[in-house]
Structure 1
Amino acid sequence: MRRLVAVELRRLRARRLTVIGLIGVVVGLAFMGYGMWDQARPLTTSQRQAATAAYNQARQDWLAHGDQMRTDCLAGQADARKTDPKADFGCDNMEPRLENYGKPRPRLDDLVPSGLEGAAYLVAFVAFVVGAGFTGAEVASGALGTWLTFEPRRLRVLGSKLVAVVSGTAVVGTAAVGLVLTTGWLLVQHYNPGAHTPAGLWSTLSGQAGRAVAVTAAAGLAGAALALLLRHTAAALGVVIGYLVVVEGLLGNRFSGVKPWLLQTNVIGWLEHGTSYGLDVCTVAPDGSYGCQTVRRAITFGHSSLVLAVVLAAALALTVAVFRRRDVA
């Protein structure tokens, strides 16, 4: 089995689609690194002058109309609290402050989490395409049938291919999140060397990085399995695009109650260790009027983990069952 995996890893590295995918990851990470740098760097002289001018203008408006602005704010807040007792418009903090018109110095907890999430989506997408291309091309070209004449034990062949995809994409995912973590740390050390690091932050970031790598490996595995089932790379990509448009897009927006079971929602819940979604709650008042409001509902990390695990396990079970019996010639 070990030698089979080594052979599949060499095949995976040699594929043109893998090389193109790696180039795409590097380019995408370069753009993300630029975005992190742009977020971390201090304002230029012209930007500081513009911010100061905006603050001075807001200060003049506040001195002239501040009392009325606060009164209007409190009135709006009182109206909102008729339906939401916790509504807070921040009416006591409306006075302009110069620090709010500048740019805060970078901190790890502000800079890195969004970068890790962006890297996870980027590398997971590439992993899915590479995984689908790896198995789909072999089925479509007939190479898989030829390979089975040399190694007829189908489950060993299937297992070696899936292990190769998982390990290969996991390595790329690890390198990507490691680069994001390093870039964020270097930027903070350069622009804000005395920044306070909250207790447990590195543990939180390490957990997020690990979950990003897991999503990458799962995406590669799902791509390889789906392409084996559908016998073609393009078919696997078409099914995923159709799912995103029809189920995630149309049905998810039309029926908010299905959101806890959608893949996109649960991927976010996995990466962010829990998330929430908006549920439309509509009621009919005694006077016959009809109204709706959006209520936030929490989705736990455990829920997201279970949904994703069940979907992936079902896909793998179906792939194994079909691959054992189907003619691949």
Structure 2
Amino acid sequence: MSLYRTELRRLAKRRFTRYMSLLGLLVLVAVVVGVFFTNQKIDAGQLARAERQADQQYQDQLRWSEQERAACEQAKTAGTPNDGRFPDDCSMIQAPPREAIEARWFLPSTFDFRETFDETLIPLAAILALVGFVVGASYVGAEWSTGGMMNLLLWRPRRLTVLLTKLAALLTGLLALALPATVLWFAGFWLVATFRGSTEKVTSGVWQSFALTGLRGLVLALALTTIGFALASLGRHTAMALGGVVAVMVVFQFGLGILLDMASVRWAEAWLLPTYLLAWMTKKVTLQDWDSCNATYYGECKPATFDITWQQSSMLLAIGTVVILGAALWAMRRRDIS
């Protein structure tokens, strides 16, 4: 009997795997349904109404500026101190130009597939990664805690082969869940955009960009699933993986973030793991340092910036995955099985 097929059946028959996968899918469905009911398709009547509201706000700004300018002139003539309410030159009190008040501010929320769908791939990847991490940790952790791993090694004594076969079955199971879920995610939001938004200007290049982002999301889910599996195998218990994540998030992320903020460290976000995960999904995260000022030719102050790219994130993700999995394989090979 094939060990790989046996592990696939064992993974599929675990109640925790089924419940966790169902929960993840229900969360994804809830997100799509929520976006559907919180957006509207914009018609000509709504556009005309938004234009009227923008005009009305512009007229209100004109009246307000005239009243304030008159009050400023009156206070200046009377010599009344204004306590900084008015500028020295009352003519500076002007309403904003009409084009500064946009009609889109007064439109209801609408789902523009070209502009918005890319953002929805981040929660998709996060949910799939969470499901994979927890299922992977539970899958191998239960084998160690119940003695199943020891019994299996009596039948198939090659330790590394057994562990890697379990990992291969786990990653196959995740792909079997993630690929259809991703396709349905694309289809679901296309329907949302069709009935509750816009599908205009969606070119082949846009589809290619979305597909690459979705692929990066799948890679992230596979990597975190491998890490969860390896941590649980390294500690021989599910709690090793879950406790390790809690420790990393609480101690090394929140605690380190607070410490860096108190120390006023420049580019503090560059030391935090979520920044690199976000950069992996969005291709680039630009950090800004508002304590520094780069004056432009026109006297405008722009903060210094620091870019974290998906290439840097890929190196961190690959090194972390290889190191943790390598440690689990080394421990499996060297430690006694008891």
Query: Normalising by structure 1, what TM-score?
Result: 0.80
Question: Once the two structures are superposed, what CA deviation does each residue of 1:182-223 show, in whole Å capped at 9, x if it has no partner?
Answer: 112122233456622245100000001111111111111111
Give the superposition deviation at 1:56. Answer: 6.4
CA distance in 2, matches of 1:119, 1:24: 13
> How has the CA–CA distance of structure 1 residues 67 and 234 changed in structure 2, closer, same or farther, with 3 Å as cutoff?
farther
CA distance in 2, matches of 1:163, 1:49: 57
Q: Residue 212 of structure 1: which of 198, 212, 217 is its match?
A: 217
> How has the CA–CA distance of structure 1 residues 125 and 294 changed in structure 2, closer, same or farther, with 3 Å as cutoff?
farther
**1:73 matched residue in structure 2:** none
Q: Which runs of 5+ in 1 are unaligned?
A: 70-90, 284-292
Give the superposition deviation at 1:172. Answer: 1.7
**1:317 matched residue in structure 2:** 326
Q: Within the alignment, does 1:308 sit opposite 2:317 as a pair?
A: yes
CA distance in 1, matches of 2:158, 2:98: 70
CA distance in 2, matches of 1:93, 1:234: 60
Question: Once the two structures are superposed, what CA deviation does each residue of 1:115-170 show, in whole Å capped at 9, x if it has no partner?
Answer: 21111111111110000000001101111011000000011101101111112112
> Is the contact made by 1:120 and 1:173 (CA closer than 8 Å) also made in structure 2?
no
Give the superposition deviation at 1:227. Answer: 0.3
Question: Aligned to 2:306, what secondary structure does the other structure show?
Answer: strand
Q: Output the amino acid matched with 2:2.
A: R
Question: Once the two structures are superposed, what CA deviation does each residue of 1:55-102 show, in whole Å capped at 9, x if it has no partner?
Answer: 465234212135799xxxxxxxxxxxxxxxxxxxxx657643433201
Greater alpha carbon shift after TM alignment, 274-283 vs 221-230: 274-283
> Is the contact made by 1:142 and 1:328 (CA closer than 8 Å) also made in structure 2?
no
> How has the CA–CA distance of structure 1 residues 50 and 137 changed in structure 2, closer, same or farther, with 3 Å as cutoff?
farther
Q: Within the alignment, does 1:121 sit opposite 2:121 as a pair?
A: no
Greater alpha carbon shift after TM alignment, 162-171 vs 49-58: 49-58
Give the superposition deviation at 1:315. Answer: 0.5
Question: Once the two structures are superposed, what CA deviation does each residue of 1:33-64 show, in whole Å capped at 9, x if it has no partner?
Answer: 023213442379xx999978964652342121
CA distance in 1, matches of 2:316, 2:251: 19
Give the superposition deviation at 1:235. Answer: 2.5
> Is the contact made by 1:167 and 1:217 (CA closer than 8 Å) also made in structure 2?
no
Question: Aligned to 1:111, what secondary structure does the other structure show?
Answer: helix
Q: Output the amino acid matched with 1:9.
A: L
> How has the CA–CA distance of structure 1 residues 313 and 116 changed in structure 2, closer, same or farther, with 3 Å as cutoff?
same
> Is the contact made by 1:116 and 1:181 (CA closer than 8 Å) also made in structure 2?
no
> How has the CA–CA distance of structure 1 residues 135 and 113 changed in structure 2, closer, same or farther, with 3 Å as cutoff?
same
CA distance in 1, matches of 2:53, 2:198: 29
Q: Output the amino acid matched with 2:58.
A: R
| Percent identity over paired residues | 28
**2:226 matched residue in structure 1:** 221
Q: Within the alignment, does 1:232 sit opposite 2:237 as a pair?
A: yes
> Is the contact made by 1:40 and 1:188 (CA closer than 8 Å) also made in structure 2?
no
Q: Residue 273 of structure 2: which of 263, 277, 283 is its match?
A: 263
Query: Normalising by structure 2, what TM-score?
Result: 0.78
Q: Within the alignment, does 1:197 sit opposite 2:207 as a pair?
A: no
Count of aligned positions: 297
CA distance in 1, matches of 2:235, 2:67: 65
> How has the CA–CA distance of structure 1 residues 49 and 276 changed in structure 2, closer, same or farther, with 3 Å as cutoff?
same
| 1:148-297 superposed matches below 5 A | 148-191=153-196, 195-198=200-203, 200-255=205-260, 257=267, 259-279=269-289, 295-297=304-306
Decide which structure has the larger Cα Rg and report it: 2
CA distance in 2, matches of 1:305, 1:93: 46
Name the Cα RMSD after superposition. 3.1
